[in-house]
Chains A and B, each alone.
Chain A
Amino acid sequence: DTGVSQNPRHKITKRGQNVTFRCDPISEHNRLYWYRQTLGQGPEFLTYFQNEAQLEKSRLLSDRFSAERPKGSFSTLEIQRTEQGDSAMYLCASSLRENEQFFGPGTRLTVL
């Protein structure tokens, strides 16, 4: 499969724990996006990388959230001190051309 991949697909954690998700974009894509999606809503933008540079960050992304893309390839999204309100599907997308994005399958996070 040469599409965008995400791991893990599901994560259940207790409130207060830290979690980290990984996204592997399509290999030639230089742009990478993270979104959060809750039931009945469209994807909400979290952050955007062009190569290894983090160019945009949503106000939704509190200081408990951090994202990296160290070599301009895969990316990680870490949530520290998780809260029940963090429960959602976390989607990653990549693109080569401006604006045309391909989504990964997502990581579903449940915070107990």
Chain B
Amino acid sequence: GENVEQHPSTLSVQEGDSAVIKCTYSDSASNYFPWYKQELGKRPQLIIDIRSNVGEKKDQRIAVTLNKTAKHFSLHITETQPEDSAVYFCAAPSSYIPTFGRGTSLIVHP
């Protein structure tokens, strides 16, 4: 099965700084890599995803980069805002079943 490692577990930044969260995976057949944001007491919500045929995807202040050779992908948030504070999860599928990372708690200080 797939093994997904996510780092760091906690990330504290000042408002306006950038934040980067990295995930590594083990199954070279994985071809879809989503990132979810989960606010306290709420459901995980998809914020951005990338498929293996591209190396980078951007959506306003959020970007995801993928290195298939090294089997890692990263979430980049620029110009962070207090409302970005949440737990972020990466996921990678193996045989269509996603394995989630353990999450990164992002704290943005105003």
Q: Which residues of A contact B (CB under 8 A)?
A: 40-45, 48, 56, 91, 98-106
Contacts and interface: CB of A to CB of B under 8 A. Distances in A.
B43 A42 contact: no
A99 B32 contact: yes
B97 A42 contact: no
B49 interface: yes
A14 B2 CA distance: 35
B42 interface: yes
A45 B96 CA distance: 11
A82 B91 CA distance: 29
B97 A41 contact: no
Most buried by B among A42, A91, A98, A104: A42
A45 B98 contact: yes
Contacts of A48: 96-97
Given A98-B32, A99-B32, A104 B43 contact: yes
